[in-house]
Structures are given as structure tokens and as C-alpha cells.
């Protein structure tokens, strides 16, 4: 992660919570660390819904009034998030968001409904947009847009197992590490050690019918596929070698190009 060294280059996201805990107005002393952890995850996914490895530093502070969670980071990303908050309010919908951002809003919505909290999301910009989430709002993705689909993922297995719910963690080139829910019975009955091996996995999950985006957070295992990434490369090299030795040696490049383009006499 990169650091923000100058204050003027930083802005902040504020997530303000108001409500009642028991008979007492909510305050920082009444927020459990698990609730704070959830806020952390939601804030990160709102600010950086994509790859997080190279994201800028996010610093944090919490203040009363009733509870103010303040996340400081690069102004560039605060400006982008401010536009997103305005679009959510304008459309009164979150279907257009990237998966992680949409899920963060849904998580906040679920907490608002379950605990009766009112959330206010805003930025440090002078003309900030504000998003209100409470029991009356319904910020959930439209189910019709997300449909079941089958996928094939290829990569290296970095972890496999689990005490109650088993998963295979697969390091892929396109999505990074993805977690695929896998029956314990399959892992118990599989004779070979799959850890750190390159494998393919056929899985079922959700795909956005409009954008084609895959929700990699809800993948379920179907079957394991033997996969050798070196095989295809060797095969292609052989094909290229045959082409060079048998086909290209008998072709004059200029003649071939003229045949493809066509001849135009002036």
C-alpha cells in the first residue's frame, strides 16, 4: 500500500450511525468490535471495490455524535465515491455498482433493518452527496439480474478444507484468490493431495445477466478438472514450429499480403 503524506491530498468517508441500544442513544462506548470490523470491511469495499493490493492507505478514527466512523484516504477515491453516493440516491438502486460495493451497501441495509439504526454516508467534500440507509430504505440488488451459471476456473490451490464448511482456495490469474464452497465428503474421499497443484474447477455461481460480471463470493464446487498449464503452451509451440517449417517456407510474404488485400491497378 502507498502512503498519503500530505493532508491536502486526503479526504474522508464518513459513516454516521444514529439509533438506540436498549434505552440508550448509541455512542462509541456501545459499539462492539465486531460491528466495527463489519464497518471496516464495508468501507474498504466502497472505497476500493476492485484489487486492494496496491490501494492507498486508509486511516481511521471514531467519534461520538452519535457514532461517526471516519475513513481517510486519497482525495481521488473520495471524489469517485462521492459520485457513486449521488448516483445511488438518484436511482434509488444499487444494481449498477460493482459487486463488492453493492454487497457493502446491502450489509449496511441489513444492519439498519435488524438493529433499527439510521446510517448516513457522506464525504469530506464541500458539496458532498449524502446517502441515507434505514429501516425504510430497500437497497438490495435485483435478484432477476443475477442468475445461476456454470464456470470453469483454473489456477493453483492454496488451501483446502475447513472445520464445519469446507472450501478450496484457488489462486487465479483473472480474479486473484477465490474461495469455492466444497463438500467435505469430496475432500475426505479424494486420494491425492491437491495443495499447491495447478487444477481446474467446475463451479456454479451467480452472474450478472446484463454485464456478465461474476460474483466470486458465492461459488459452489461441482467437479475437479485435471489441468496442466504447460501442456497448451507446448502444443502451441509445436504448431508454430510446424507452420514455420512446412507452411511459411513455401510462401513469399509480399505475394501472400497482396493476395489477402486484393490487387488494385491504377
Three-state SS letters, 223-237: EEEECCHHHHHHHHH
CA–CA separation, 245 vs 220, rounded Å? 46
**What is the band of 256 on the pLDDT scale with cuts at 50, 70, 90?**
low
Instruction: Please determine, for residue 237, whether its predicted confidence score (pLDDT) is greater than 80.
Output: no
Distances (CA, A) of 59 to 44, 69, 78, 97, 175: 11, 11, 13, 24, 26
Query: What pLDDT score was predicted for residue 5?
Result: 47
Query: What pLDDT score was predicted for residue 22?
Result: 87
Angle, CA of 6, 77 and 111, to the nearest 5°: 115
Q: What is the pLDDT of residues 37-88, one digit of tens each?
A: 999 999 999 999 877 778 899 999 999 989 999 999 999 999 999 999 999 9
Instruction: Please determine, for residue 261, whether its predicted confidence score (pLDDT) is greater than 90.
Output: no
The three-class DSSP label of residue 135 is: coil
**What is the band of 19 on the pLDDT scale with cuts at 50, 70, 90?**
very high
Domains 9-141 and 144-229 in one fold: no
Question: What kind of architecture, by CATH, is found in domain 144-229?
Answer: Beta Barrel (2.40)
**What is the band of 266 on the pLDDT scale with cuts at 50, 70, 90?**
very low
Query: What pLDDT score was predicted for residue 132?
Result: 98
CA–CA separation, 200 vs 155, rounded Å? 7
How confident is the model over 169-198, as a mean pLDDT?
Answer: 90
2.40.160, 3.90.1210, 3.30.70, 1.10.10: CATH of 9-141: 3.30.70
Instruction: Please determine, for residue 211, whether its predicted confidence score (pLDDT) is greater than 70.
Output: yes
Q: Where are the domains of the chain?
A: 9-141, 144-229
CA–CA separation, 190 vs 207, rounded Å? 29
Computed over every residue of the chain, the mean pLDDT equals: 85
Query: What pLDDT score was predicted for residue 190?
Result: 85
| Grid coordinates of 163 | 472445520
**What is the band of 192 on the pLDDT scale with cuts at 50, 70, 90?**
confident
pTM, 2 dp? 0.65
Q: What is the pLDDT of residues 119-172, one digit of tens each?
A: 999 999 999 999 999 999 999 988 768 889 999 999 999 999 887 789 999 999
* Unique residue bearing C-alpha cell 513455401: 250
DSSP secondary structure string for all residues of 89-133: HHHT--TTS-HHHHHHHHHHHHHHHHH--EEEEEESSTT---EEE
Query: What pLDDT score was predicted for residue 181?
Result: 94
Amino acid at each position: 500500500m502507498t502512503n498519503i503524506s500530505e493532508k491536502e491530498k486526503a479526504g474522508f468517508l464518513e459513516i454516521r450511525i444514529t439509533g438506540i441500544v436498549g434505552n440508550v442513544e448509541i455512542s462509541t462506548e456501545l459499539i462492539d468490535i465486531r460491528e466495527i470490523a463489519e464497518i471496516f470491511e464495508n468501507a474498504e469495499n466502497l472505497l476500493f471495490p476492485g484489487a486492494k493490493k496496491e490501494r492507498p492507505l486508509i486511516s481511521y478514527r471514531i467519534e461520538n455524535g452519535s457514532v461517526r466512523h471516519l475513513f481517510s484516504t486519497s482525495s481521488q477515491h473520495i471524489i469517485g465515491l462521492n459520485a457513486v453516493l449521488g448516483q445511488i440516491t438518484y436511482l434509488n438502486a444499487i444494481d449498477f455498482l460493482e459487486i463488492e460495493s453493492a454487497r457493502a451497501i446491502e450489509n449496511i441495509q441489513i444492519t439498519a433493518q435488524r438493529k433499527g439504526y439510521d446510517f448516513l454516508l457522506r464525504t469530506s467534500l464541500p458539496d458532498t452527496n449524502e446517502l441515507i440507509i434505514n429501516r425504510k430504505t430497500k437497497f438490495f440488488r435485483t435478484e432477476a439480474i443475477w442468475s445461476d451459471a456454470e464456470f470453469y476456473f483454473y489456477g493453483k490451490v492454496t488451501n483446502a478444507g475447513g472445520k464445519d464448511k469446507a472450501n478450496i482456495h484457488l489462486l487465479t490469474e483473472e480474479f486473484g484468490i477465490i474461495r469455492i464452497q466444497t463438500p467435505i465428503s469430496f475432500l475426505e474421499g479424494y486420494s491425492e493431495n491437491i495443495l499447491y497443484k495447478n487444477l481446474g474447477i467446475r463451479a456454479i455461481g451467480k452472474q450478472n445477466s446484463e454485464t456478465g460480471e461474476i460474483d466470486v463470493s458465492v461459488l459452489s464446487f461441482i467437479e475437479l478438472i485435471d489441468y496442466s498449464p504447460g501442456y497448451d503452451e507446448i502444443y502451441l509451440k509445436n504448431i508454430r514450429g510446424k507452420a514455420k517449417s512446412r507452411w511459411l517456407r513455401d510462401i513469399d510474404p509480399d505475394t501472400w499480403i497482396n493476395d489477402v488485400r486484393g490487387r488494385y491497378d491504377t
